[in-house]
Chain A
Amino acid sequence: MAVHDRRYKPYTGETTALRSRFLVLPRYAFKDVFKSRWLVFFLGLTVLPPLIFGIMIYIRNNLDALDRLSQLGLDIGSFYSIDEGFFANFLRWQYSFAFFLTLFVGPGLVSRDLANNGLPLYLSRPISRADYVIGKLVILLTLSSAITWVAGLLLFGLNGNMTTWGWMFENARIGFAVFVGSFLWISLLALLALSLSAWVRWKVIAGFMLLAFFLVGTVVPQVINAFFRTDWGHILNAVQLVRIVTAKMLGTTPPDGPPFFACIIALAVMAGVCLLLLNRRIRAYQVVS
């Protein structure tokens, strides 16, 4: 072909739909994430509580099994029942796992792009800043969802299947609380991890900051409460806020802390600050030093 024929020709291949363009980021990120054997091992561990809770549901609803256990002197009926408290315990385990998962995956998501001056490469393509953030959030939310509300709703469905479907309608509040509570927690975790990852260029330091946020947030309120004889110190403790909201929605006794709506407002403020930080850091240009 003659040189003068090599003119600009627009791309004529298939294009990704505008709305689903952000999914390109998770597609590549998942390949990267699952390269880590530690993460795969950890994900294996996160399956254990749902498995154990599933077995507990099975035993509680299986007359044969109950009969055999009672012959062995184990009266399961007096040990536990499948109610709000059961799901609250399940969520407590899975919330911890979601935190560790975010600590594992989250800090490197944006910091690597920033450290290698890669942000302009993303944003020079037809991906907006919002798409970039949503794409990164989807990575964390997908992984965390699988171990929190998806697993919780599967257990909820399992119990409904083994008892009566009417049980599910009567206890729809539990299913709703499992979904909303989990989604609040994992969204907050994901936003925090991304914003810290965007502000601190080193993955390790971003991880440190995330850990510090929760440790400081757990202990400072205790100190404030002890000195000033109040419960409002917990307003700084994201873990306690989510616990209160989840407990209120489940109908169990909430832990000490501010009222429900104050918790919601505090969580919204935390999420808002994270979004502001992300908005400030995710720019289509970088000053390369």
Chain B
Amino acid sequence: MSTAATPAATPADRGLDGGLIIRQLTGILRMELGKNLLGRRAFFTYFLAFAPVPLALFWAVWPGSKEGLQGPNAAAALFAGVFPAYLAVPLYLSALLLFMSLFRAEIMEKSLHYYLLTPIRREVLVVGKYVSALIAITMTFLASTTLLYGITLMPWGLGEASQYLFRDAGLSNLVAYLGIVALGCAGYGAVFLLTGLVFKNPIIPAAVFWGWEAINIFLPTFLKKISVVHYLTSLFPIPILEGPFEIIADPTPVWVAIPGILIFTALVLALAGWKASRMEISYGDD
């Protein structure tokens, strides 16, 4: 009696195996988190995130720091004025370096093919790398933002500062800022991950994108909405006026802004996954 050999089921035949995907994601996260938290690129993230801390500390111990400021409320307003700059430069640049490097650095180091030769769906690889970088950058910036917020309240001493934090709007403001930081990391991260996949030199599109975000305040309302910064500024607990030439638009409601950024992030990630699934590496080109 002869039996025909049954061919082994291919991954495509098996369809999506949730358990397998989670195991693969865990494996990618384990490897990537080490790089993103302890590697060379992590140093730049820490540097950019904590660079304003010495400046803020200097201000806090400076005898004239309380001059013209009536209590922690006024200091919080000062923090609110500086926070957009913190989003626009340290967070933006850190996200650019970290997320752009996820694929581009591996291409330059000629090590991406090790990943691509493993039996992992490219989309899973994209999500794994994205989540690892997101965890690293979000943790860093949540810590640095909390520290900066704390330092801004420092000149008023523990008593007044804790009263502002726990009896006034201090703590809810801080939570709002932390939420904005996390959403900013997610939104910018997705954009730069895609940029790193599409462009050989992602710096030019990143500079153009920064320019677009910077001129957002001067754009008409319908164009404002095609940006990350518009949704982030809509969530600011203390609204700020950017200047005499700002075109003021109604802030997007919280229930639109938060899902808006998350949906935008998911769409960009889907696009990155699609791009990665068609990617062929030619190390010689870089």
Contacts and interface: CB of A to CB of B under 8 A. Distances in A.
Given A204-B108, A226-B82, A227-B59, A211 B206 contact: yes
A208 interface: yes
A95 to B, nearest CB: 13
A202 B203 contact: no
Interface string A100-113: 10011001000000
Contact of B85 (A202, A207, A212, A222): A222
A204 B82 contact: no
B49 interface: no
Given A227-B55, A228-B62, 15 more contacts: A103-B203, A103-B204, A103-B207, A104-B204, A202-B108, A204-B100, A207-B201, A208-B96, A208-B97, A211-B207, A212-B93, A215-B89, A219-B88, A220-B55, A223-B85
Name B's interface SS.
Answer: helix
B93 A215 contact: yes
B85 A203 contact: no
Nearest to B87: A219
A171 to B, nearest CB: 29
Contacts of A223: 52, 55, 82, 85
A264 B42 CA distance: 36
B38 interface: no
Nearest to A218: B89
A207 B52 CA distance: 23
Interface of B: 51-52, 55-56, 59, 62, 64-65, 68, 78, 81-82, 85, 88-89, 92-93, 96-97, 100, 104, 108, 201-204, 206-208, 210
A227 B206 contact: no
B74 to A, nearest CB: 12
Interface of A: 38, 100, 103-104, 107, 202-204, 207-208, 210-212, 215-216, 218-220, 222-224, 226-229
A34 B97 CA distance: 28
A215 B210 contact: yes
Most buried by A among B89, B92, B206: B89
A224 B108 contact: no
A219 B59 contact: no
Nearest to B208: A100
Contacts of B65: 227
Closest 10 CB pairs of A and B: A207-B203, A219-B89, A219-B85, A227-B59, A215-B89, A223-B82, A212-B93, A211-B207, A208-B203, A222-B85
